[in-house]
Amino acid sequence: MSPHDTSPEALSPISSASTIRGITVGLYLRISEDKGMRSRAAPWREIGEEVSAQREELEGLAAELGWTVAEVYDDNDTSATDPFTVRDGFERMLVDLQTEMLRGILFYHSDRLARQEYDAARVNRLYQMNPTLVGLSLSGSVDLSTQEGRAMFTMQATMAGIEAANAGRRVARKRKRLAERGIMGGTPRPFGWADDRLSLHPEEAAHLASAIRAVPGGKKVGTVRREWFTLGHKKRQTRKGKERHGERDMPFEHSTVEAILANPRNCGYMTHLPQSERRNRKTRPWMPDHVVYRDGEPVRGPWEPIVTPEEWAACVRTIAERKKERRDGLAEPHDTSEKYLLAGVARCGRCMFPLTANWYSKASPSFERYGYRYACLSSLGGCGGVSRVGPLVEALVETEFLDEVRRSLDEPVVASLVVESVHVERLTAIEKEMDAINERRKAERIPLSLALDLIEELESERLRLSDERRALQASKVKRRTEYPTLLRQWQDYTIAEKKQHLKRSIRAAVVHPQGRGRQPFKPELIEIVWQ
């Protein structure tokens, strides 16, 4: 039987569950890509057309079975294959089934409900724990209230996931072949180009070219970012982004400006990076590494370039050198890291991805009260499962850090004295061992070459221990002199100064999930990992 068999036998679930009448159920609706949202070439399509058809058929099935529909879980235009995507309707449905707010669910087909073994297992676990729940598919003959039905559900969901993965690989190969031929893909309008993506935007292109040429001469990316915002260049938001932030003007992030400046498209080069690889990265991909080559030369696209390859290469090299200096600690962090105390310090307790400072929407009550939060953003590669009020997390971490500083001043330095005494003992022993080796060499009891090997080994150890001892002594002096000043002047420090002191002592501030819905701030869910 085909997984999408629409014969009368497949569309008429026959099971013990179908004989139960008068119960309350929910409907689960999902389609991966709503063509009405994505395609301008098909204006006859309506947004939500396909999930509306699913709902109509499922409501008919519920009426036929004598069941009452109490809730509809709509995950329109949401992928079930991408592990980074959180389906809000699916998660809410699982909670309602677990709390027995519903007696069961109806869904169109297994691959609408799940396409990953993990999600299928979560559904099966709920039905195994509560045998009174009902769950029927309109197509595919799945009955979740039976062991056989759950096995069928897992198999269909798994096969659908495999089919989607294979399709993704085929699409990636096709897109790479097109890129090697210089054929442009269907991407959103890049910054600097007009809506046709071939001709230059009269204002954006001029400002982008000026910035690319100025960066090698010393102009900072943060300066370019501020200038662009002043000139009116704002972040183009997705539909979901507009819902999250309202209509508020959003400036480009620092990393976005870096990516725009380093885009190989600026000098006409084609690039290719599969979507699966893009989503699996923990950081934004560095697109200069993904230029497409043919016969040893970069492939040119059909659009009008903004700068020459030489001008683009000089800009990319300058940005890459600055990024390396920041990673190696040879340069100050860029501007955006100084606006939020825990940027680069706060991490998600679920996936350990760095949390991003993210402003609440104007419609949210938290906007006026707190302004921003720290969130694990799935759009940047995180799991999307953790979000916490920014000022409250920062206040907690600051308090813990300052308390630790006070404790270090009050407590005796027993551990430091023990380590230092061990160093002294070993340094003394090394001197005695070197004297003994020299005595044995003079007495011709060991050859000169062996004596040299032993002496050099001991000298290396002595040098290492001496460095460690000096570092330990310096840290004690620093604690006696710097910490009291830090406690007195902490409130007068800038964010950059505070952050520098914090990162010397704190490796990460891990923010653990606290459940769905509005809840009071729970300090116990913030875990500080000390250096």
Give the chain's largest Cα–Cα span: 105
Q: How far is CA 243 from CA 90, 198, 238, 505, in A?
A: 20, 30, 9, 39
Owner of token pair 């309707």: 89
The pLDDT, as a whole number, for residue 428 is 81
pLDDT of residue 17: 60
Separation CA 194–CA 201 (nearest Å): 5
User: Residue 9: what pLDDT?
Assistant: 41
Q: Give CA separation, 278 vs 39, 152, 379, 435, in Å.
A: 23, 33, 11, 61
Q: Could you write out the three-class secondary structure of 256-302? A: HHHHHHCCHHHHCECECCCHHHHHHCCCCCCHHHHECEECCEECECC
Q: What is the torsion angle, in degrees rounded to the nearest 10, for the CA atoms of residue 311, residue 315, residue 318 and residue 320?
A: -130
Here the tokens at position 413 are 């330095």
Q: Please list, in sequence order, all residues whose beta carbon lies within 8 angstroms of the beta carbon of residue 391, skipping any fewer than 6 positions away.
A: 370, 371, 372
Q: Give the pLDDT of residue 338.
A: 58
Report how far apart, in Å, the C-alpha atoms of 120 and of each of 83, 91, 147, 152, 157 are: 13, 12, 13, 11, 7
- Each residue's pLDDT tens digit, 153-165: 999 888 888 887 7
pTM of this prediction exceeds 0.75: no
Count CA within 13 A, CB hemisphere, residue 505: 17
Closest C-alpha to 511, from 524, 531, 525: 525
- Give the pLDDT of residue 462: 77
Q: How many residues can be counted in the chain?
A: 531
What's 338's DSSP letter?
Answer: G
Element (H, E) at 70: strand 68-76
Rounded CA separation 105/55 (Å): 12
Below-70 pLDDT ranges, the chain: 1-19, 33-47, 178-180, 182, 186, 217-218, 236-250, 275-283, 295-296, 329-338, 410-421, 423, 466-482, 496-497, 500, 517
Cα distance between residue 341 and residue 397, in whole Å: 10
Helix (H, G, I), strand (E, B) or coil at 502: helix
Question: CA 126: distance to chain centroid?
Answer: 29
Burial class (CB in 10 A: 0-12, 13-18, 19+), 411: exposed
- Residue 414 has a pLDDT of 46
Helix axes 448-489, 390-410, angle to 10 degrees: 120
All residues at 6 or more sequence positions from 426 whose CB lies less than 8 Å from its CB, including other chains: 461, 465
Pair of tokens at residue 138: 């309109």
Element (H, E) at 327: helix 309-327
pLDDT at 7: 45
| Phi, psi dihedrals of residue 31, rounded to the nearest 5° | -140, 140
